[in-house]
Amino acid sequence: MFYKVKVKDHIRVPPKMFSLGRRDAVLQNIKSAYENFISKELGFVVNVVDVADIKEGVIVPGDGAGYFESDFELLTFRPEMNELVYGTVRDITDFGAFIDMGGVEGMVHISQSMDDYVSFSKEKVLQGKKTSQSLKVGDKCKARIIAVSYKDAHNPKIGLTMRQEGLGKLEWLEQPQAVAAKETKKDKEEKE
């Protein structure tokens, strides 16, 4: 889920940036410190939205940099259990598919890719035996988050499933609707 988070922190501005305006210098340093930052508390920091307040700076002896207490807002993505997400297949391996959810990546294990016996081909395609459904790089998908691990803070893991009803490659989800529409049209024609 995406959140706007208010943060208060002391932002270090090096002396070489003193020629910039205070707001610009602080904003640049907030962006370099927080954008693409990952933590269990914040989740994945996507963007710095706004700087609300910047207090008077303090220069620390021996450092020479200015430290400014600042209040600012961040846009974060914090994956939550059972959350539905949309994404694009970025890569397929013999053990599953990697889904890009817009700057954040999750993995669908091969056993969770579809409700069928699934095989992997050298062309990087996951193929269902009974249904003949296939999943390849570039396909748009709908999945559910089933696991989140921050064990490695620099590379958190998000586990996904597409085996439940209403999940999977978007083309698969549209097929039953097309069949139902044809059946409804056929029923109408028979009644007339």
pLDDT in tens, 36-84: 888 888 888 888 998 999 999 898 888 889 999 999 999 998 899 999 9
Instruction: Among 77, 100, 121, identify where a domain stops.
Output: 77
Q: Is the pLDDT of residue 12 over 50?
A: yes
pLDDT of 27: 92
Q: Is 60 found in the same domain as 125? A: no
Question: Which pTM value belongs to this model?
Answer: 0.72
The reply to whether 190 falls in a domain is no
| Distances, alpha carbon 78 to alpha carbons 89, 130, 147, 156, in Å | 20, 36, 12, 11
pLDDT, tens digit, for every residue of 86-133? 999 999 998 999 999 887 899 999 999 888 888 888 888 888 888 888
pLDDT of residue 97: 93
Q: Are residues 89 and 140 in the same domain?
A: yes
User: Between β-strands 157-161 and 168-169, what pairing exists: parallel, antiparallel or unpaired?
Assistant: unpaired
Query: Residue 30 belongs to what domain range?
Result: 2-77
pLDDT surpassing 80 at residue 185: no
